[in-house]
Chains A and B, each alone.
Chain A
Amino acid sequence: AQKVTQAQTEISVVEKEDVTLDCVYETRDTTYYLFWYKQPPSGELVFLIRRNSFDEQNEISGRYSWNFQKSTSSFNFTITASQVVDSAVYFCALGGGGADGLTFGKGTHLIIQP
């Protein structure tokens, strides 16, 4: 069975601080996909990134960066120079390749204080 663990329930930082959201996953699949989604207070799910299991390159997109390490089954997400608009719930999710739905972690509620 697949499992995603986001151990941090809530994180609160002051604006402009860097913050890392942790994600640890479990799967027996050799091919799988990892995702991060943002859910602002309005409720919609905003896609942030997809990473497949055979691509361990880290990725940077503006203030966002992702660190994928298969050796530790982790896919962590870092926001640098955080802003109030980054306040949201962030979900890490795991999928098997399209035929199955996603398994979500419990989410991390990120609060950026001005």
Chain B
Amino acid sequence: SAVISQKPSRDICQRGTSLTIQCQVDSQVTMMFWYRQQPGQSLTLIATANQGSEATYESGFVIDKFPISRPNLTFSTLTVSNMSPEDSSIYLCSVVVLDTNYGYTFGSGTRLTVV
């Protein structure tokens, strides 16, 4: 299965600023996703990161707030823009490997606190 390196692991940020989270995979993968997990809640899909084209956002998430880049098949970034305390969450990158061991692998997450 793929191994994901996600950075930073945690950060404390001032409101109004932006944070960019990086997701590096050790192999080429077609599908990459970004999720948010608010405190004590489940995971919610933010968007699918598409290589070479604009990300596909789920309802309730917009590109201006969560711009995503996917320059190649092993790397993606998620930016949380103009942060407010409500953005305090764990953000997770995920990839899916479409082989006989089909499954979704998750990064270790970025724990973001906005003060």
Chain A contacts to B: CB under 8 angstroms: 33, 35, 37, 43-45, 47, 50, 91, 93, 95, 98-107
Determine whether the beta carbon of B42 is less than 8 Å from that of A45: no
Question: What is the predominant secondary structure among interface residues of chain B facing chain A?
Answer: strand
Determine whether the beta carbon of A45 is less than 8 Å from that of B103: no
B94 within 8 A of A: yes
Across the two chains, which residue of chain B brings its CB closest to A33? B102
B111 within 8 A of A: yes
**Contact pattern, B 97-108, Cβ under 8 Å of A = 1, otherwise 0:** 010001111101
Contacts of A50 in B (CB 8 A): 102-103
Chain B contacts to A: CB under 8 angstroms: 30-31, 33, 35, 41-45, 48, 58, 90, 92, 94, 96, 98, 102-106, 108-109, 111
Determine whether the beta carbon of B42 is less than 8 Å from that of A101: no
Of A43, A95, A100, A101, chain B has the most CB atoms within 10 Å of the CB of A101
Contacts of B102 in A (CB 8 A): 33, 50, 98
Determine whether the beta carbon of A105 is less than 8 Å from that of B98: no
Across the two chains, which residue of chain B brings its CB closest to A105? B42
Of A45, A47, A50, A100, chain B has the most CB atoms within 10 Å of the CB of A45
Determine whether the beta carbon of A104 is less than 8 Å from that of B42: yes
If A43-B90, A44-B109 touch, whether A102 touches B104 (CB-CB below 8 Å) is: yes
If A98-B31, A99-B31 touch, whether A43 touches B42 (CB-CB below 8 Å) is: no
Q: Which of A35, A95, A106 contacts B42 (CB 8 A)?
A: A106
If A101-B33, A101-B94 touch, whether A47 touches B42 (CB-CB below 8 Å) is: no
Determine whether the beta carbon of B43 is less than 8 Å from that of A104: yes
In addition to A47-B106, A102-B33, 6 A-B residue pairs with Cβ atoms within 8 Å of each other are A45-B92, A47-B104, A98-B31, A98-B98, A102-B104, A107-B42
